[in-house]
Amino acid sequence: MRVVNYSAQRNGGGTTQIRAGIRDRTAAFIVSENSWPLFMYQDYDADVENLERGLMKSKLLIMAFKAIFTSPSSANEVDGEGDGADIIENHRRAQRQSDQTKVKTCVASIIGMRKVTPRAIAYTACQIRFALSNITSWRTVDGDFDYQIYWSNIVDFFENAPGPAARGRVNELLEWWTRKVFGKNHRQDLTPDVVSRMSVSALATQRQEKEDAVFDSD
């Protein structure tokens, strides 16, 4: 299990040193819920100077999420890492799915999930970590690793942001997740405030302003 060992990398520790420390179970290299696993990072690589960059954006994490909540076959449709989104391909996939005569209800449909939530991401990460471990039956604590605290760490990352800037980044990340998983927008997101800022409403406002200006000039 590869993890981000902040202290070792900050102090110039190489891969050999880190592996030896983990193998020997020295205090500085304990693999616990207090280190983010690299499987949670985009391209499976972390920047120790900016540990938030790429966190929660790995292809494996998205694939596992889709396998659990949408369908195992949909996990194969993840289009790589990062922010890129192939809109045309997403449309084709949606069309193929709508053309299928037999549709098996997925977990997301059963529970009414239309957006990705922090708790669902945390659940998925726990399942991946368990699958990558060498234990054969579920337990809350696996050696030095506590799954309950790990789950809470992920939820806290999303829900206990330190300020407005961090909350903005978290909201953008969740929106990115929803696009990646569901690949489409949802009408319930079209709140009156959102609609008021769209071009149809903007045009109506501009036309009314022009009418008012003509009336006032008379």
Annotate 124-190 with DSSP letters as a single string. Answer: HHHHHHHHHSS-SS--SEETTEEHHHHHHHHHHHHHS-SSHHHHHHHHHHHHHHHHHHH-S--GGG-
Helix (H, G, I), strand (E, B) or coil at 62: helix
State how far the Cα of 137 lies from the Cα of 81, in Å rounded to an integer: 31
Q: How far apart are the first and last CA of the chain?
A: 76
Specify the residue for token string 């799915």. Answer: 97
What tens-digit pLDDT sequence spans the chain (218 residues)? 555 544 444 444 556 666 666 666 666 667 788 889 999 999 999 998 999 999 999 999 999 999 999 877 766 666 554 444 444 455 555 555 555 534 567 887 787 888 999 999 999 999 999 999 888 888 899 888 899 999 999 999 999 999 999 999 999 999 999 999 887 655 666 678 878 888 999 999 999 999 888 877 76
CB 181 within 8 Å of CB 69: yes
State how far the Cα of 198 lies from the Cα of 210, in Å rounded to an integer: 18
CB 197 within 8 Å of CB 103: no
Helix (H, G, I), strand (E, B) or coil at 84: coil
User: In Å, what is the CA distance from 32 to each residue of 29, 54, 59, 71?
Assistant: 9, 20, 22, 30
What was the pLDDT predicted at 212?
Answer: 87
What was the pLDDT predicted at 5?
Answer: 46
> In the chain, what are the domain boundaries?
56-185, 190-218
CB 123 within 8 Å of CB 151: yes
User: At a CB cut-off of 8 Å and minimum separation 6, what does 190 contact?
Assistant: none
Identify the CA nearest to 79 among candidates 171, 176, 186, 174. Answer: 176
User: In Å, what is the CA distance from 201 to each residue of 28, 49, 62, 191, 204?
Assistant: 58, 44, 36, 13, 5
